[in-house]
Structure 1
Amino acid sequence: MLLAFPIILGTGSLLTGAGVYYATYAVRSQWLGPSDWRGRTDTSAVALTFDDGPSQDTERILEVLAANKLSATFFMLGRQVELFPQIARRVIEEGHEVGNHSYSHPIYLFRGSG
C-alpha cells in the first residue's frame, strides 16, 4: 500500500495540473467562466493582436508589419510602457491600435464574478 501512495499522489497532481493548465490557457475553455467569441465569418480577414508589450521584440514586429503593409492592435502593460516609452510611441505613430492590458498583468485564477 505504501508503494502505491506516491503513484496515486503523483497521478493526481499531474491530472490536477493538466486541468488547471487547460482551464487557464486553452483558447476556448469555459471552465472559469464564459468568454465571448464573435466576428464576421463572411471574410478571410484576421485581426492581429499582440499582448504584454511593448518590449524590444516589438520593434521587429513593427518592421514586419510595415514591410507587409499590415496593422495590428497592441494590448500594452503599463509597466512595459514605462520601460519602453519610445517603442510604445512608435506603435502609436505608425497607426496601430493600442489597448490597455493592465499595469502589471495580475493573474486572477480564482477571481469571483463580482
Structure 2
Amino acid sequence: MNNIFNEKDIEKKIFDDRWVRFAFGSQGKSKTKNLNLGITEFKKNKMSLTHKHDIDEALYILYGKGTVKIGNRSHKVKTGDFIYVPRGTDHTMITDCESDLKIFFIFSGEITIDH
C-alpha cells in the first residue's frame, strides 16, 4: 500500500458536474477498506445531482463558496467551513457564480462513487 503521495499523483475521475481525486478507499490511489477520502472540485456556477449515501460524510471547503442543501435546508458555505451530512440525507452542492469550489471529503466507511 502506498501511504504517502501528492494530490497531483492521483488520477482525476471526471463526472458531469465535477472532478474527483480519490486518495483512499476502494476507488483510491491507496486501497483501504473502511476509510474513504479525497478531493473534489466543482467549477463555478454548477449544481451537483441531489443524492444520498448509506454512510456519514464530512466535507471541508478548501477554497471557494457556494450553497449546500442538506435535507430541506440550504446553507451558505465558504473557504474554511466544515460540513456534516448524516447517512441517508439528501444533499446537493451549488457553486457560486464567481468561483470554483474545492472540497476535501471523507466517508465513515466503504463507498463507491459513481455519480
Give the TM-score range, shorter chain: under 0.3
Structure having the larger proportion of residues in helix? 1
Structure having the larger proportion of residues in strand? 2
Q: TM-score, normalised on structure 1?
A: 0.27
Q: TM-score, normalised on structure 2?
A: 0.27
Structure with higher RCO (Cα < 8 A, 6+ apart): 2
